[in-house]
Amino acid sequence: MSEARFPIGVFDSGLGGLTVVKELIRQLPCENIVYFGDTARVPYGTKSKEAIVRFSHENARFLLKHKVKMIVVACNSSSSFALESLRKAYKLPIIGVIVPGACKAVGMSRKKVIGVIATSATIHSGQYARTIKNIDKNIKVVNQPCPLFVPLAEEGWYDNVIAQQAAKKYLQPIVQSKADVVILGCTHYPLLRNVIQRAVGPKVFLINSAKEIAQEVKDLLKKMGLLNTQGHRGKCQFFVSDKPQHFKTLAKRFLGCAIKNVHKGSGACMN
């Protein structure tokens, strides 16, 4: 089989990476995708750097068993702490979520003030701020951890009173900074886009990193001659390290459509 027909591998700590899968399907409908969600150890945002790096390598090795042609690290915490280590360990292209979103944000900001909202681990890594500063050292970066956004998204509480109050509280420093662009630095956060947008105001541009990473995947596959040009629609396989039925139930919220099968993976924490 031609290498172009090999699947794209995507991993995340749980469900959030499905927002990346949704964009990959939209922008690259012919590509086959293998997704791994490490639901047994979610969330990564509260774990140590050492644990996140170890989990990320285990997830990558699981995807490699499925002969993937590329790995997309859909977890912001893994992208913050493990991306360089993964790239050194494996020969295939590996893309994280931070650089595409940061590049888009710098290009969109006119006031040179960018807000970053993410999990505590991603914020504390400082990776978004460093990446943005490397592109334009004159930009001010306002970091704000929003730990409650992940459970709110997974509960389906996208726009109720609790979500609205959390968004107003968390995003007050962003509003006060007069940032004109805000990066949604966690793959769960696009589900809360409406409540976040109202909290920061209609003039603030929100960056959904899932859209930017899908575009980067498309560009890189074209450049490497690995774009799947077969006329039929690609297939998606979903694996998790725990609770496949629970994942299947919640996946519809992230993908916008139901999935038929979710398999319990034999890699990751079962290595």
Which residues 6+ apart lie within 8 Å of 184 measured at CB?
A: 101, 117, 190, 193, 196, 206, 207, 208, 209
Apex CA 38: angle with CA 47 and CA 63, to 5°? 120
Transcribe 85-148 into DSSP letters. HHHHH-SS-EEESHHHHHHHHHHH-SSSEEEEEE-HHHHHHTHHHHHHHHH-TT-EEEEEE-TT
Cα four-point dihedral sign 227, 241, 19, 125: negative
Answer yes or no: 146 catalytic: no
Question: Is 77 within 8 Å of 121 (Cβ atoms)?
Answer: yes
Choose, from 30, 75, 236, 269, the residue flagged as catalytic: 75
Which residues 6+ apart lie within 8 Å of 149 measured at CB?
A: 117, 166, 170, 186, 188, 189, 192
Question: Is 183 within 8 Å of 117 (Cβ atoms)?
Answer: yes
Answer yes or no: 186 catalytic: yes
SS3 71: strand
Choose, from 30, 186, 236, 269, the residue flagged as catalytic: 186
CA-to-CA distance for 95 and 270, rounded, in angstroms?
A: 24
Residues noted as catalytic: 75, 186
